[in-house]
Chain A
């Protein structure tokens, strides 16, 4: 029986549980000095002068560096679609554009000495007018990057179809804010860099994509890729924010060369809250129209994306929002336009879902607004408009082709699991009784895209002479459990038990190529690659065994339980994996195979989440009573790990709906720049989750697997937000922006009354 599909506890856990992981800051690097950045405290200002003299002679200080000292070429564009006239410099030159922008780098013997020296640096800022809100940025009376002549960093403008809503009996319009949030991986960013005697660079980075860090370093320092060795040891979470090379990470190697010492840099949490990219940050205008029988006829989404001061991947999030704009619904006419603008804020990057949660939040809110307008149960409106199971592959009006799904079944399962009809009765009872604590039921019938950015992934499998195996993968897990899951995939093919299979990742010298772990791509690209490489090793071994057994390869079978090959029908004469590996040892590469797998396309996980909340109508406080989630990510490899991914996503998604928001004052000062002020969700604010899995295998890959890393976040946010509005709908409340804090909820009630 195959191990695939079983609840397998993780191989990697004993280490984490007994001695803790090995994160970059844990590494002992002989002779390493420390880096401290001095960051802008002003959101927009001209730098009149930087006084570093006193800091230079402070105890333990090895170097103090400003932009003027750096002779490196400007940083290459992270992505070709980005506006090249809005580049972020290595360190701020004459102007700072957000609080947190690095201005000065200090190298010191110890961290404490670096912090002390930072206190001695005086930067004279001449304030410039500050741009915090995106509408002001669009209007353009202040231009952040004069070279560019505009604040627009990216746009998707396809024109507005003025006849879109012709023929609709009902049209509802609403502006909603998908607020800026902080990814907050529990481990902040950390980098160590060392130049080796042979001129190679070794860099340890807390990253989701070591190979792209390697390539960025090679480009920055004029090296060949094989002259850079990037290692990402254990990584304490990333959530999309640890994908690219940030300037302050890439500069460490330059500083190391300058002082002739290995260096280590670990940001503080307060630093991370302004220096690590933020997520979401979309202002959305939603318009939905249809007929009173519940049929949706047209939908328009217009997005204003905040990309922060220097456009990075966040400027492009609207691309994914467009891809998934119409969600699970068959809507005949869909219109989408977006603009991204720069503001005096921390750059926006990917955060769990990256553009898709924004699409789902918009359409799911829109469907509820439409349902409220026509006075129909939101479950019924969904039922009437979902793409039916026989319509796949289904192409949306915006040109996205969904692989496979059964959205209606997910909806019905979720309604059943939540006891929807009874919940509505209880809601009616509380309304009737005029109770203070009202019940809200929120739905979200989502679909999302995983592995949305095409690419391949590398895997190599080798059987060693002692009969154990090693898998090298280009994915770079940071909590997703690849060490266990990839071992399961290879064990399935070879029969070698998972404890005898080593999984190696996150080292560019050992793994020659790789793309990394993000966008819920790992299993469906890297996992399939590992499975295929293992299959190739079996083929090789079969050939070899046939030769040794003097048989036709077609007659040789692998006995997975016995971990050996024999001629069908004569199991007594067999060749074990170890024997075959020894036999193959004279050949280059031994008993191994490597492959690069490129899937033919993306996959589209879907599901339906039901949130049940209680709203105290006197205080505005919202309590999540239940979160019921039905999720279908195709064939599930390890339910234990897959559920963990869903649960983590559910909490983060619920947190966006109720708690979390990165806030700035009008002068661009961050108001949430540490974990005391940022309302990071805790165990006390979420319930235990009720998850149900559906498995509709995708035809896109041989495992039938879709991605599972982001669905929880994508589905849960609108479910919770819709539940809050639903609890108050009898009072006339139609919308509450996120996060639905007690103050906001209370105000919505007051305004409706």
Chain B
């Protein structure tokens, strides 16, 4: 089947198998390997990307279902060589260790920040419940997201 979509602002058009998952399409067909796979039960969130601005687990969506949408992956977050404020906050607060959860976590955090005007710690924790991290104990991830929330001016 044919899919036509935009990935990080660039249009893509490919012939794909109907059963191909969006995450595999992004990784193997488009060649963007920043988005990771951490499970096979849609539990971990490592594959989180934005579809038309909203975060989705790209292992739960078929590539063909993404036809006509705009997808943003971690590779599309920095603009003109400058990191997105969430990326900056992650670095500043040491919110990543092995980095495997990080792309998904950053995308989930971006969408969380867009959806909520003010965020409490509890809301950040609830909001990121579907994104697992084995390294950080979440402490610095929460701190980074709250810092980015406090710095909304800098958010586009």
Name 24 interchain pairs, CB-CB below 8 A, sorted by A: A17-B99, A18-B34, A19-B34, A20-B33, A20-B34, A25-B37, A185-B98, A187-B98, A234-B99, A478-B98, A480-B97, A644-B94, A647-B138, A647-B140, A648-B137, A652-B134, A674-B40, A674-B41, A675-B38, A675-B43, A675-B132, A680-B132, A682-B129, A688-B121
Contact of A674 among B43, B130, B132 (CB under 8 A): B43
The number of A-B residue pairs with CB atoms under 8 Å apart is 176
B96 touches A13 (CB 8 A): yes
Of A235-243, A466-474, A539-547, A738-746, the one touching chain B: A235-243
Smallest CB–CB gap between B51 and chain A, Å? Answer: 18
0 or 1 for each of B88-124: is its CB under 8 Å from A? (1 = yes): 0011101011111111001000000000000001001
Q: Determine chain A's interface SS by DSSP, over half rule.
A: loop
The complex places the Cα of A683 from the Cα of B77 at a distance, in Å, of 23
The complex places the Cα of A238 from the Cα of B82 at a distance, in Å, of 31
Please, which residues of chain A bring their CB within 8 A of the CB of B94?
A: 9-10, 640-641, 643-644
A-side residues, CB < 8 A to B, are 9-10, 12-14, 16-23, 25-26, 112, 184-188, 234-237, 239, 268-270, 478-481, 640-641, 643-644, 647-652, 674-676, 680, 682-684, 686, 688-689, 712
4 shortest A-B CB distances, which residue pairs? A20-B34, A236-B100, A651-B137, A479-B98
Please, which residues of chain A bring their CB within 8 A of the CB of B29?
A: none
Contact of B92 among A9, A12, A650, A674 (CB under 8 A): A9
B90 touches A683 (CB 8 A): no
Q: Give the interface size class of chain B.
A: 35 or more
**Chain A CB within 8 A of B44 CB:** yes
B74 touches A18 (CB 8 A): yes
Name the residue among B38, B44, B102, B125 with the largest chain A CB count within 10 angstroms: B38
**Chain A CB within 8 A of B152 CB:** no
Please, which residues of chain A bring their CB within 8 A of the CB of B131?
A: 683
Please, which residues of chain A bring their CB within 8 A of the CB of B125?
A: 683-684
Please, which residues of chain B bring their CB within 8 A of the CB of A479?
A: 97-99, 135
The complex places the Cα of A10 from the Cα of B95 at a distance, in Å, of 10
Contact of A683 among B39, B96, B99, B142 (CB under 8 A): B142
Smallest CB–CB gap between A269 and chain B, Å? Answer: 4
**Chain A CB within 8 A of B141 CB:** yes
Whether A9 touches B91, Cβ cut-off 8 Å, given contacts A18-B74, A18-B83, A644-B97, is yes
A651 touches B87 (CB 8 A): no
Please, which residues of chain B bring their CB within 8 A of the CB of A649?
A: 137
Contact of B78 among A18, A235, A236 (CB under 8 A): A18
Please, which residues of chain B bring their CB within 8 A of the CB of A648?
A: 97, 134-137
Please, which residues of chain B bring their CB within 8 A of the CB of A237?
A: 97-98, 100, 134-135
**Chain A CB within 8 A of B4 CB:** no
Please, which residues of chain B bring their CB within 8 A of the CB of A185?
A: 98, 100, 134
**Chain A CB within 8 A of B139 CB:** yes
Please, which residues of chain A bring their CB within 8 A of the CB of B77?
A: 17-18
Nearest A residue (CB) for B132: A680
Nearest B residue (CB) for A640: B94
Please, which residues of chain B bring their CB within 8 A of the CB of A188?
A: 38
The complex places the Cα of A651 from the Cα of B135 at a distance, in Å, of 9
**Chain A CB within 8 A of B5 CB:** no
Q: Determine chain B's interface SS by DSSP, over half rule.
A: loop
Whether A16 touches B39, Cβ cut-off 8 Å, given contacts A239-B134, A683-B129, A686-B138, is no
A644 touches B136 (CB 8 A): yes
Smallest CB–CB gap between B92 and chain A, Å? Answer: 6
The complex places the Cα of A533 from the Cα of B77 at a distance, in Å, of 39
A13 touches B134 (CB 8 A): no
The complex places the Cα of A17 from the Cα of B139 at a distance, in Å, of 18
Contact of A650 among B40, B126, B137 (CB under 8 A): B137
Please, which residues of chain B bring their CB within 8 A of the CB of A481?
A: 97
Smallest CB–CB gap between A119 and chain B, Å? Answer: 14
Nearest B residue (CB) for A673: B41
A684 touches B129 (CB 8 A): yes
Please, which residues of chain B bring their CB within 8 A of the CB of A17?
A: 74, 77, 83, 87, 90-91, 96, 99, 102, 106
Name the residue among A187, A481, A682, A688 with the largest chain B CB count within 10 angstroms: A682
Contact of A236 among B43, B98, B128, B139 (CB under 8 A): B98
Contact of A186 among B40, B90, B91, B132 (CB under 8 A): B132
Given contacts A16-B102, A20-B102, A674-B39, 4 further A-B pairs with CB under 8 A are: A16-B96, A20-B35, A187-B36, A270-B40
The complex places the Cα of A188 from the Cα of B134 at a distance, in Å, of 12
The complex places the Cα of A220 from the Cα of B134 at a distance, in Å, of 32
Contact of A675 among B44, B129, B138 (CB under 8 A): B44
**Chain A CB within 8 A of B133 CB:** yes
Whether A14 touches B83, Cβ cut-off 8 Å, given contacts A9-B91, A269-B39, A652-B137, is yes
The complex places the Cα of A480 from the Cα of B94 at a distance, in Å, of 11
The complex places the Cα of A612 from the Cα of B100 at a distance, in Å, of 31
Please, which residues of chain B bring their CB within 8 A of the CB of A25?
A: 33, 37
B136 touches A647 (CB 8 A): yes
The complex places the Cα of A683 from the Cα of B38 at a distance, in Å, of 17
Nearest B residue (CB) for A20: B34
**Chain A CB within 8 A of B75 CB:** yes
B98 touches A234 (CB 8 A): yes
Whether A20 touches B103, Cβ cut-off 8 Å, given contacts A269-B40, A674-B39, A674-B40, is yes
A26 touches B33 (CB 8 A): yes
Nearest A residue (CB) for B92: A9
Please, which residues of chain B bring their CB within 8 A of the CB of A650?
A: 137, 139
The complex places the Cα of A652 from the Cα of B134 at a distance, in Å, of 8
0 or 1 for each of B38-56: is its CB under 8 Å from A? (1 = yes): 1111011010000000000
Smallest CB–CB gap between A265 and chain B, Å? Answer: 14
Please, which residues of chain B bring their CB within 8 A of the CB of A689?
A: 137, 139
B43 touches A680 (CB 8 A): yes
Please, which residues of chain B bring their CB within 8 A of the CB of A19?
A: 34, 74-75
B38 touches A187 (CB 8 A): yes
Please, which residues of chain A bring their CB within 8 A of the CB of B142?
A: 683, 688
Smallest CB–CB gap between A448 and chain B, Å? Answer: 18
The complex places the Cα of A647 from the Cα of B121 at a distance, in Å, of 16
